[in-house]
Structure 1
Amino acid sequence: MEHWKRTIERANRCFAAGELVDAREHYLQALALAQVLFERWSDADEAVAACVISHHNLADLHLRLNQPEESVEYLCAIHQRLLHTLQNDRLVPALREAALRHSSKTYVELLNFISEHGEYPRSNLLLKNNVAQTTLERSVHRGHHSGAH
């Protein structure tokens, strides 16, 4: 965790100084660390937060570079990762619960991006799949629930 924090802090200093190429390199290093350690971090909430922060920082960087399509890719990637984490029964419950808590933030960030910068193919696909999956899960849950009465 400490190595990830130092890498993010270095990237943030570069970003603030306008050294965007260096900032991107450090953000990518932080993202790689967060992804490798995602299931191994001792604190599940920190693991998920590190992954979310890494993706969102890269999204912000690409917006600064006037590359909104790259930005939305990072926003979609983390939201999709959290949705997959939620559905993965082999992962520890603490990690799945942390993914649930953070997924509301990634969803809001994605919606805010769309409201400011418009829709992109990946965001449309992700949101449509998310709506379809939620509808299916609700209908299955209702069917299961009604059979129990």
Structure 2
Amino acid sequence: MEHWKRTIERANRCFMLGELIDAREAYLQALALAQVLFERWADADEAVAACVVSHHNLADLHLRLNQPEESAEYLCAIHQRLLQTMQDERLRPALREAALRQSSKTYVELLNFISEHGEYPRTQRLLHPDTGNARRASAHHYHGVH
């Protein structure tokens, strides 16, 4: 956890100084650490929070770089990861519960992003999964009973 904290703090300093390439590199390192240690951290809440913070910081960075679609990708990735974690019965209950608690925050972040920047393909697939199926079905003209 300490290595992740130092990495994220270094990334935040770079971000604040406008050194966005260095910030991105450090945020990606922090994300990699958070993902590798996700199931291994003793404190489940810290593990989930590190993953969420890493993704959200990268999303903020890409907004600053005027790359909203990249930002949407990171916001969707963490929300989807938490949803999968909540449903994965092989994971310890504490991790699944921490994912549940954090998922409301990632959901709100996604909604705020969409209200400000609009929807992107990944946000639509994640938040409206049945829409694509309905569109595909309506594209076919069915006659009779099926």
- TM score, norm. by length of structure 1: 0.86
| 3-state SS of 1:69 partner | helix
| Whole-Å separation in 2 of the counterparts to 1:130 and 1:55 | 26
Shift of 1:107: 0.2
Number of equivalences: 131
Q: CA-to-partner distance for each residue in 1:78-125, whole Å, 9 max, x for gaps? A: 000000000000000000000000000000000000000000010011
Asked if residue 123 in structure 1 is aligned to residue 115 in structure 2, the reply is: no
- TM score, norm. by length of structure 2: 0.88
Matching residue's letter, 2:64: R
Partner of 1:44: 44
Q: Note the residue ranges of structure 2 that are not aligned, 5 or more in a row.
A: 132-146
| 3-state SS of 2:63 partner | helix
Shift of 1:3: 0.1
| Whole-Å separation in 2 of the counterparts to 1:98 and 1:84 | 12
Q: Which runs of 4+ in 1 moved over 6 A?
A: none
| Whole-Å separation in 1 of the counterparts to 2:12 and 2:114 | 24
> More helix by proportion, 1 or 2?
1
Higher gyration radius (CA): 2
How much identity, in percent, do the aligned residues show? 85
Show the 5 A alignment for 1:53-68: 53-68=53-68
| 3-state SS of 1:58 partner | helix
Matching residue's letter, 2:28: L
Asked if residue 94 in structure 1 is aligned to residue 94 in structure 2, the reply is: yes
Q: Note the residue ranges of structure 1 that are not aligned, 5 or more in a row.
A: 132-149
| Whole-Å separation in 1 of the counterparts to 2:130 and 2:107 | 10
Shift of 1:128: 1.2
Shift of 1:129: 2.9
Shift of 1:5: 0.1
Partner of 2:137: none
CA 1:23–1:97: 2 relative to 1, 3 Å: same
Partner of 1:113: 113
Partner of 1:76: 76
RMSD after superposition: 1.2
